[in-house]
Amino acid sequence: MLCAFIHEATQFNPHGHPGAQLADLARRIFQVEAAAIFDADLHEVYRSGEWFDDVKEVLQNICLFGTATDDRETGLIRRVLQMGKLPIGAMLLRGETSVIVANSIASIIAITFDRYHAFANESRTENARQAEQLRTTVLDSLAHAYKTPLTVIEAASSGLAAMGGLTPTQAGLVSLVDEQAKQLSQLTSRLLTTARLEASDLIPKIEAVAIAPLIDDVMASLREQLSGFSVRVVLPNDDVALCCDRSLLVALLTQYLDNAGKYADFGTTIMIQVVEESNAIVFSVRSIGSTIPAGDYERIFDRYYRSSASASIAAGTGVGLSIAKRAAQAHGGNVWVASDAKEGTTFYASLPRLPKGVASP
């Protein structure tokens, strides 16, 4: 009988939960009056035969307290389903069977449950990967689709402004169109960067990059956003350089500086600092303004997440800081933030002097 139970138990489709089938199988093969099985992970009970109303509570207690008994008076056989020392469920039989057989049934059910959960986790992981890949593909396609009409709008608004002869109202409207088109263009560029960074096969294009001119280029691209601030750059020396993907580092620092421009108090100083360590170079951008709650330090780098403390201060998509995080991770680096009312908010990014597995150029 035990061999038959083992054979049939291993034939179940791992993509469907085997609980109900196992309960029926145990009852049929071992000719017990009733069988009930509890899956602690799903918090579900699978039963065969007639059972009392509180059977779920009984099974939960068996799992929780590690109860394994054979009650001859009531005919109830209780067993904990375990993988190693970890309880994953419970089994309750009503009828007559030996201790050895009851233990074997419980072991086989535990193995079958574990097999099911392993397949289920693998399936969920694969589905999540495919969904993320689809999202990235759609994001990339939409961003490219928006680029052409935005370029046309910007060219048209610039042409209207250059023609002259506009009334103040018309000039103001043209200026507004141009300003909003530029903002949309910047957002589109970020979405394209995000799509690239989310690609599973992203390989940084490593080259020796001089840091000082790179920072100058980033500041120039954000001239309007930073116009109301004093920007201070602190470098260990004018010749500091790093082996990295230049475009990814530009994307990272652009997000940090743009973020500072959004949330810093007008007229304050934004400081960009570069510190050389033995195996890494640490970039930081500090600003004085709204602070970030400690509980948001980790989540603020998640895609689409915006801290409740700053969401009402400036418009945003929650994409920027996730780009910075992914850019650092692509190099084998990491990002973090520190924030308080006295010292201000500082975003950090540590990049190894030479990304792991990359030969020096």
Q: What is the pLDDT along the chain (361 residues), one digit of tens a residue?
A: 657 666 566 666 655 678 888 899 889 888 899 999 999 888 899 999 999 989 999 999 999 888 899 998 889 999 999 887 788 999 999 998 889 889 989 998 988 888 888 777 766 656 655 655 655 565 566 666 666 787 778 888 888 888 888 888 888 898 888 888 877 777 776 666 666 665 555 678 899 999 999 999 999 988 888 998 999 999 999 899 999 999 899 989 999 999 899 889 999 999 999 999 989 999 999 999 988 888 888 888 886 666 655 544 554 445 678 888 988 988 999 999 999 888 899 999 999 987 655 544 4
> Hey, what amino acid is at 144?
H
- Residue 73's contacts (CB-CB under 8 Å, 6 or more residues apart) are none
Compute the distance between CA of residue 245 and CA of residue 209 in angstroms, rounded to an integer. Answer: 8
- Residue 201's contacts (CB-CB under 8 Å, 6 or more residues apart) are none
Q: Is residue 242 within 8 Å of 353, Cβ to Cβ?
A: yes
Report the pLDDT value the prediction gives residue 218, as an integer from 0 to 100: 92
Rounded to two decimals, the pTM is: 0.52
Going by DSSP bridges, is the β-strand pair 241-244/207-210 parallel, antiparallel, or unpaired?
A: antiparallel
Report the pLDDT value the prediction gives residue 156, as an integer from 0 to 100: 84
Q: Would you state the structure tokens that stand for residue 85, as one six-digit string?
A: 């020392």
Report the pLDDT value the prediction gives residue 153, as an integer from 0 to 100: 84
Compute the distance between CA of residue 266 and CA of residue 227 in angstroms, rounded to an integer. Answer: 10
Torsions phi, psi for 219 (to 5 deg): -65, -40
Report the pLDDT value the prediction gives residue 59, as an integer from 0 to 100: 94
> Hey, what amino acid is at 1?
M
The H or E element that residue 269 is part of is strand 269-276
- Residue 168's contacts (CB-CB under 8 Å, 6 or more residues apart) are none
Compute the distance between CA of residue 76 and CA of residue 201 in angstroms, rounded to an integer. Answer: 56
Compute the distance between CA of residue 299 and CA of residue 320 in angstroms, rounded to an integer. Answer: 13
User: In angstroms, what CA-CA distances link 344 with 94, 228, 297, 310, 354?
Assistant: 67, 17, 14, 14, 31
Helix 99-163 × helix 19-30 angle, to 10°:
170
Q: Is residue 45 within 8 Å of 77, Cβ to Cβ?
A: no
- Residue 53's contacts (CB-CB under 8 Å, 6 or more residues apart) are none
Compute the distance between CA of residue 330 and CA of residue 349 in angstroms, rounded to an integer. Answer: 12
Nearest to 157, CA basis, from 137, 185, 134: 185
Which segments of 145-260 are extended strands (E)? 207-210, 230-234, 241-244
Report the pLDDT value the prediction gives residue 175, as an integer from 0 to 100: 87
DSSP characters for 331-351?
TT-EEEEEEETTTEEEEEEEE
> Hey, what amino acid is at 30?
F
Compute the distance between CA of residue 229 and CA of residue 285 in angstroms, rounded to an integer. Answer: 13
Compute the distance between CA of residue 33 and CA of residue 69 in angstroms, rounded to an integer. Answer: 17
- Residue 81's contacts (CB-CB under 8 Å, 6 or more residues apart) are 37, 38, 40, 63, 87, 88, 89, 90, 91, 106, 109, 110, 113
Q: Would you state the structure tokens that stand for residue 179, as one six-digit string?
A: 């300003």
Report the pLDDT value the prediction gives residue 7, as an integer from 0 to 100: 59
Report the pLDDT value the prediction gives residue 312, as an integer from 0 to 100: 47
Report the pLDDT value the prediction gives residue 157, as an integer from 0 to 100: 83
Report the pLDDT value the prediction gives residue 67, as an integer from 0 to 100: 85
Helix locations, 243-310, DSSP H: 246-263
